[in-house]
Amino acid sequence: MTDVLGLLALALAAAGLIALGWWLLVATEGVYLGRRVVVALYDLFAPRYDCVKNYYREYEQMYLADPIMRAIAPHRSPLVLDVATGTGRLPLALMRHPDFQGRVIGLDLSRQMLKFAARNLSVYDERVTFIWGPAERLPFDDDAFDVVTCLEALEFMTRPEVVLRECVRVLRPGGLLLVTQRINTRLMPGKTWTSGQFQALLEACGVVDGRVQIWQVDYRKVWGRKAGDAPAVGARPPAEVIRCPGCAGRGLRPDGKRWRCDGCGMLVPVGSDGVLELAPLCD
């Protein structure tokens, strides 16, 4: 009898551990274990990401690219930043839009996700730049972009408020912000917000005209604009808005297979896939 009870207790403990592991690593994608774990999991999962997500081209057009183009009309050549770009979902939707004539910078901290992003967008590499770097410290000037997006990512960030503040800092006054609010909150205590909390957070960051829109089962789209008004930035080359991680100056220039800072001499490697590798120089 004691043996049976012992075995039962052991089985229960093992099941509990498996459930805890599943919750920590799969359901919540490592966010309770810190940024390194989140990024390591995305690195691991990158080859299967597009297959699992299976984004429909028409829906991406209809629910992402079209509304962005409508919101910035009649401007057609914005400079766009996609924070936590993953495998390049948002850049791809914009590049496929017949009216889009702008440029996109996609930033992510998973080098493997960016490998697939660069592959997915290789035919657009004149107008799309991918940067390996952290969302918590965006390597760009203030007011540098016409549009900033961050989709399906804030709840996997260990410091989402810092990321939101950074998104708004680099957006020009009057520029368009599109982020997502997780609405399936059951398994992520403390990592998601109610609509009221989210709106308040955006307002505290300097966002006006906040508007929540139904989108998917797990997410709402949240639109807003940075308070104030400034002329459009337009499709400038990335070198004009990127800040050097060494001296925070604007001196980074392409120099063969790497970038060099005119100010402090720092060298930034560029991967064979064209990704600008700032992450190891950022922390």
Ligand X SMILES: C[S@@+](CC[C@H](N)C(=O)[O-])C[C@H]1O[C@@H](n2cnc3c(N)ncnc32)[C@H](O)[C@@H]1O
Whether 157 and 165 have beta carbons less than 8 Å apart is answered as: no
Supply the minimum distance, in Å, between the C-beta of residue 65 and ligand X: 13
Assess 165 for contact with ligand X (CB under 6 A): no
- Residue 147 to residue 201: CA distance in whole angstroms: 19
Assess 109 for contact with ligand X (CB under 6 A): yes
User: Which amino acid belongs to residue 172?
Assistant: R
Using CA atoms, how far residue 250 sits from 28, 80, 82, 160, in Å, is 37, 18, 20, 26
SS3 182: strand
Select from 79, 80, 131, 135 the one that contacts ligand X (CB under 6 A).
135
Smaller CB separation from ligand X, 68 or 135: 135
Assess 110 for contact with ligand X (CB under 6 A): yes
Assess 86 for contact with ligand X (CB under 6 A): yes
Assess 136 for contact with ligand X (CB under 6 A): yes
Supply the minimum distance, in Å, between the C-beta of residue 108 and ligand X: 5
Interface mask toward ligand X for 245-264; x: CB under 6 A: --------------------
Residue nearest to ligand X (CB): 86
SS3 221: strand
- Residue 218 to residue 157: CA distance in whole angstroms: 17
The string of DSSP letters for 34-69 reads -HHHHHHHHHHHHHHHHHHH---HHHHIIIIIHHHH
Helices 35-53 and 111-120: crossing angle in degrees, nearest 10, is 30
The beta-strand segments (E) located in 184-257 are 207-214, 219-226, 252-255
Assess 108 for contact with ligand X (CB under 6 A): yes
Assess 156 for contact with ligand X (CB under 6 A): yes
Select from 102, 134, 175, 245 the one that contacts ligand X (CB under 6 A).
134
Q: What's the DSSP call for residue 158?
A: S
Assess 277 for contact with ligand X (CB under 6 A): no
Subset of 18-37 contacting ligand X (CB under 6 A): 35
- Residue 183 to residue 265: CA distance in whole angstroms: 46
Smaller CB separation from ligand X, 227 or 281: 281
Q: What's the DSSP call for residue 272?
A: T
Supply the minimum distance, in Å, between the C-beta of residue 114 and ligand X: 8
Q: Positive or negative CA dihedral for 245, 112, 237, 148?
A: negative
Whether 82 and 149 have beta carbons less than 8 Å apart is answered as: yes
Select from 28, 39, 192, 277 the one that contacts ligand X (CB under 6 A).
39
Select from 65, 79, 81, 85 the one that contacts ligand X (CB under 6 A).
85
Assess 84 for contact with ligand X (CB under 6 A): yes
Supply the minimum distance, in Å, between the C-beta of residue 38 and ligand X: 5
Subset of 222-241 contacting ligand X (CB under 6 A): none
Q: Which residues bind ligand X (CB under 6 A)?
A: 35, 38-39, 42, 84-86, 89, 108-110, 113, 134-136, 151-153, 156-157
